[in-house]
Amino acid sequence: MDKNHSFKVGFSFGLTSGIITTLGLMVGLNSGTKSKLAVIGGVLTIAIADSFSDALGIHISEESENKHTTKEIWVAALSAFFSKFVFALTFIVPLLLCTLQTAILVSIAWGLSMLGIFSYFMARKQNTNPWKAAAEHLIIALVVICLTHYAGDWIAKVFV
């Protein structure tokens, strides 16, 4: 593995995790609390804590393979951290500019667009069916969005 490959591993992991985790958290918190403050706090928490957690996870995973240089491991970890951190923070913008319900819809559209575009171009570069790859990744994201929405609804009914 070279540094470029290490960067791609970290970046693709961070982007995907940043989009799906942040959308899931936003949708679930919105359904459960209807609180803009809670959703903003959740996004900031994901951007900080989960970015560090994912970077450490990539770092340890790459170390455990025992076939990468120290530099390659750090490149993968740091690119995972920064890509997740930045992509998670992009979801703050609609929360600051729109009502909560509009921000959730804008964030879903933004996140699914970014995931679909990234998946499409990644698959094209790998000479695989880009539409199939994008559809597969978008379906997984939509499942997460639906499950977290209903989990938030359930929490609001049971605990509020």
Packing angle of the helix pair 130-159, 100-125 (nearest 10 deg): 150
pTM: 0.93
**Residue 33 scores a pLDDT above 90:** yes
**Gap between the Cα atoms of 117 and 39, Å rounded:** 25
Helices (H), 34-159: 36-45, 51-64, 70-90, 92-97, 100-125, 130-159
Candidates 124, 122, 89, 128; CA nearest to 107 is 89
Phi-psi domain of 127 (left: phi exceeds 0; alpha: psi -120 through 50; beta: other)? left
Whether the Cβ atoms of residue 101 and residue 34 lie closer than 8 Å to each other:
no
How confident is the model over 129-159, as pLDDT tens digits? 999 999 999 999 999 999 999 999 999 999 9
How confident is the model over 66-82, as pLDDT tens digits? 999 999 999 999 999 99
Phi-psi domain of 66 (left: phi exceeds 0; alpha: psi -120 through 50; beta: other)? left
| Confidence class for position 1, pLDDT limits 50, 70, 90 | low
